[in-house]
Amino acid sequence: MVWEDGGSNLTSYPIGMSQQNIFLIGLMAVGKSTVGRLLANCLQMPFYDSDHVIEERAGASVAWIFDVEGEVAFRDREEQVIDELTSMSGIVMATGGGAVLRSTNRVALGSRGIVIHLDSPLQRLIERTEKDKKRPLLRQGNPREALVKLQAERAPLYSEIADYRFITDQQGPKVLAAEIHRQLSADGVVD
């Protein structure tokens, strides 16, 4: 039995098709959680969202943690959760967009599973986040400028550890999850 999404509902899963971990990385609003959940269903594997696990443990939202404790404290929590989750076997995990900022996280992700970088055109991400008040890094100043800066800073880090890169703007999340599943199957990563 495993905890799904770090939540309080204990869920029993059959042995997944693969014991290989699959980790989704990418900028905020790119679809990591949605695609990850769908991919986990396809693979019959448990799904975790590192931000949700952090929120569950803290009893507070990511935005609150940023506001009250600061980004460094949030990144400390994130590093601990990513270390724990990547140590598991046979999971699909969506990370927060900034998880790659710490080299410890990049090493854990890159060495303990298959890393899939979900990417999207910047304009699409701006549209997806323009009314979102929960994202701490977009609440101050110009969200477009913030996303441009985040993309420039993080794109090389995503590329450094990614085994695959998929563009999320081309199709819906169900189709994308099926496409990822097909590619991983074709490459022998999953059964």
Any idea what the CATH number is for the domain that residue 179 is in? 3.40.50.300
In a domain, 189, yes or no: no
In a domain, 146, yes or no: yes
In a domain, 52, yes or no: yes
pLDDT-derived band at 137 (thresholds 50, 70, 90) equals: low
pLDDT-derived band at 4 (thresholds 50, 70, 90) equals: very low
- Tell how strand 2-3 and strand 10-11 pair up: antiparallel
Segments forming the whole domain that contains residue 156: 2-184
Report the number of distinct structural domains present in the chain. Answer: 1
Q: Is the pLDDT of residue 57 over 50?
A: yes
Report the pLDDT value the prediction gives residue 171, as an integer from 0 to 100: 86
In a domain, 191, yes or no: no
Q: Is the pLDDT of residue 13 over 60?
A: no
Give Cβ neighbours of residue 24 (< 8 Å, ≥ 6 apart).
Answer: 32, 35, 36, 39, 92, 93, 94, 95, 116, 118
In a domain, 190, yes or no: no
